Amino acid sequence: MTPRQRLLVFLAGAAGLAALLAWGVAGLPGFGDHRSAYGQLVTRSSVPLRNATDVVTVVNLDVRGLDTIGEEFILFCSVTAAAVLLRRQARERVGAARDEFPGRRAPGRDDAVLVLGTAMGALVVCFGLYVVGHGQLTPGGGFQGGGILAAGVALLYLASGVRTLERMAPEWLLEVGEAVGAGAFVLIGLASLAAGAAFLQDLLPLGSSGTITAGGTLGLINAAIGLEVAAGISLVVSLFLVQLARIEEADRP
């Protein structure tokens, strides 16, 4: 099929799809007229029931907690799939780290970049921990903070190169972090079952609203998710960098 034929087939299909989507959207309540009994009920009960002020975290980790476990394992499986795809293939070998684009010489290590990158990395990690820790109070939580923490690992690479990255955040450590984070969420749910309550039911004291201990297990679950997301995304970043910098064809001199 030539590109032109393919484009014509697409345009016919897209016109139909756009018409169907526009028809479907026309049946929605207008922008700004949203009235959801479910959403209002959750909003009104999140402080009385959980002492948590970020309703989005309450929805994700409590009201829809079981779904979030499923989502967490989507992340886990995707990271595993990426790791399998990026492993050394049969005709390849792991060579010395060539931290440069083919045909271009990398500049040597620069002290200014190293100092600035390390300082920024420390700040980013502090901010990531803050976002993970305050997920039940203000916008944030394990998923968002974990992403910020993984950015710290990427900064470490930018400041000091792939060898330092492999030494300070080795693959086995990231794999263990990811597995512990994913397992801890399930174990928190099972602990409630073992105590005779419902899965993921909160048995810890709820703390006082507005402090970091508010929300009982919400903080623990956020910490588990933060660990898993930070380790998982860092692992993917590290796998791509090792793939580019170290894995080469075996028959090369």
Partner 1 sequence: MSPLVAWLPFGVAVWLFVVGLYGIVTSRHLVHLIVCLSVVQSSTYVLLLAVGYRSGALPPILIDVPARTPTVDPIVQALCLTDVVVEVTVMAVLLALAVQAHKRFGTADPTRLRPQRG
Binding site for partner 1 (CB under 8 A): 3, 6-7, 10, 14, 17-18, 21-22, 25, 28, 30-36, 38-40, 42-44, 46-47, 53-56, 58-60, 64, 67-68, 71, 74-75, 78-79, 81-82, 85-86, 89, 137-139, 143-144, 147, 210, 229, 232-233, 236, 239-240, 243
Q: Which two structure tokens, joined as six digits, stand for 4? A: 């032109």
For residue 9, CA distances in Å to 15, 17, 20, 22, 32 come to 10, 12, 17, 20, 37
Q: Provide the 10 A C-beta neighbour count for residue 24.
A: 9
Query: Cβ closer to partner 1: 154 or 236?
Result: 236
> Least Å distance between CB 145 and partner 1?
12
Please tell me the distance from the alpha carbon of residue 142 to that of residue 55, in angstroms, as a whole number: 14
Please tell me the distance from the alpha carbon of residue 70 to that of residue 75, in angstroms, as a whole number: 9
Query: Cβ closer to partner 1: 17 or 119?
Result: 17
Q: Is the dihedral of CA 45, 50, 53, 54 positive or negative?
A: negative
Query: Cβ closer to partner 1: 144 or 160?
Result: 144
Asked if 95 and 248 touch (Cβ cutoff 8 Å), the reply is yes
> Least Å distance between CB 53 and partner 1?
4
Query: Cβ closer to partner 1: 118 or 243?
Result: 243
> Least Å distance between CB 108 and partner 1?
28
> Least Å distance between CB 5 and partner 1?
11
Which phi and psi angles does 49 have, rounded to 5°?
-90, -35
> Least Å distance between CB 34 and partner 1?
5
DSSP string, 107-143: P---HHHHHHHHHHHHHHHHHHHHHHHTTTTSS--HH
Asked if 134 and 185 touch (Cβ cutoff 8 Å), the reply is no
Query: Cβ closer to partner 1: 130 or 240?
Result: 240
Query: Cβ closer to partner 1: 62 or 202?
Result: 62
Asked if 225 and 140 touch (Cβ cutoff 8 Å), the reply is no
> Least Å distance between CB 146 and partner 1?
9
**Phi-psi bin for 151: left (phi > 0), alpha (psi -120 to 50), beta?**
alpha
> Least Å distance between CB 248 and partner 1?
10
